[in-house]
Amino acid sequence: MQRLFYTVYLWFIAAPIFIILTLLTSLVTIGGCMLGGEKFFSYYPGKIWSQLTCYLLLCPVKVKGLEHFHRKQSYIVIANHQGAFDIFLIYGFLGLPIKWMMKAGLGKIPFVGAACRAAGFIFVDNSTPKSAAKSVLEAERAIKKGGSLVIFPEGSRTPTGKMERFKKGAFQIAIDLQLPILPVTLNGPYDILPIHSRKLRPHRMEMIIHPPLSTDRMHKDLQSLADEARTLIASGLWEKYR
């Protein structure tokens, strides 16, 4: 019965409101960035949209470790990739101005893709090594303008809830720009909307922000840095995700 009530609520109340919120957020972001307010409009409309989405879909959020970063410092933020709600969790509750490094296919979503382009987000094209290298250069140029960059080192959502192998691109960017890495553990998004499902389920979410990892030790190779970050993120996972 509870599932039935949530389904009715989702389709007749939450979904229409979400569509309107998404459209308004996209238009505000596009308009604000076009008028020269990219620093503000690339972050705050999306932050509010993400928070409202979590509340609207009855997914409570708990955040730990906010004391581990400084808002005026730029970071390469890396997190495990459990599902689509990772975006709402990080965007809405990290509390750090960010830009996203995302799959090129997301740029085709009506309004949302245009808003992401206006906000200066980076679309990753892995079709060829040259295209992938170009995406990394675009990310480095974007981060030099200020703010932090969010990357999912696994590359795609986990099919099981457990972490996959980390790719090295995020760590190469961090070393190239000499920026600290901010590891973040996400719990719960997999239970809301797994990669192979279309059925939303209300579930609590948790975000754990770990102490930053320095990249100023140039002798540290990419693999050891990736392994250290992965170990930190894994330490915060709920038991069923380990």
Task: Specify the CATH number for the domain of residue 216.
Answer: 3.40.1130
Lowest-confidence pick of 97-101, 110-114, 172-176: 172-176
Where in the sequence is the domain holding 146, given as residue range(s)?
2-241
pLDDT of residue 217: 62
pLDDT of residue 1: 80
Q: Which two tokens stand for residue 57?
A: 């879909």
Tell me if 142 sits within 8 A of 120, measured CB to CB.
Answer: yes
Query: Which of 88 and 175 is assigned the larger pLDDT?
Result: 88
Q: How many domains, the chain? A: 1
Report pTM: 0.94
Please state, in angstroms and rounded to a whole number, the distance separating the CA atoms of residues 123 and 116.
9
Q: CB 197: neighbour CB atoms within 10 A? A: 11
pLDDT of residue 220: 63
Tell me if 181 sits within 8 A of 216, measured CB to CB.
Answer: no
What pairing do the DSSP bridges indicate for beta strands 122-124 and 205-209? unpaired
H/E segment holding residue 62 = strand 61-64
Please state, in angstroms and rounded to a whole number, the distance separating the CA atoms of residues 10 and 210.
34
With a CB cutoff of 8 Å and minimum separation 6, the contacts of 105 are none
Sheet holding 98-103, edge to edge: 61-64, 205-209, 181-187, 76-79, 148-151, 98-103, 122-124
First and final CA of the chain: distance in angstroms? 32
User: Residue range 43-70: average pLDDT?
Assistant: 97
Hey, is 147 helix, strand or coil?
Answer: coil
Query: Which of 55 and 220 is assigned the larger pLDDT?
Result: 55
Note the pLDDT tens digit of each residue in 196-223. Answer: 898 999 999 999 999 999 987 655 678 8
User: Residue range 13-41: average pLDDT?
Assistant: 97
Q: Could you tell me which of 151, 170, 154 has the C-alpha nearest to residue 162?
A: 154
Q: Could you tell me which of 203, 177, 172, 168 has the C-alpha nearest to residue 189?
A: 203
Q: Which two tokens stand for residue 62?
A: 């708990």
Residues in the chain: 242
> How confident is the prediction for the chain on average, in pLDDT?
92
Please state, in angstroms and rounded to a whole number, the distance separating the CA atoms of residues 60 and 68.
22
Q: Could you tell me which of 58, 129, 120 has the C-alpha nearest to residue 88?
A: 58
Lowest-confidence pick of 130-139, 147-156, 171-180, 202-211: 130-139
User: Residue 176: which pLDDT band, with cuts at 50, 70 and 90?
Assistant: confident
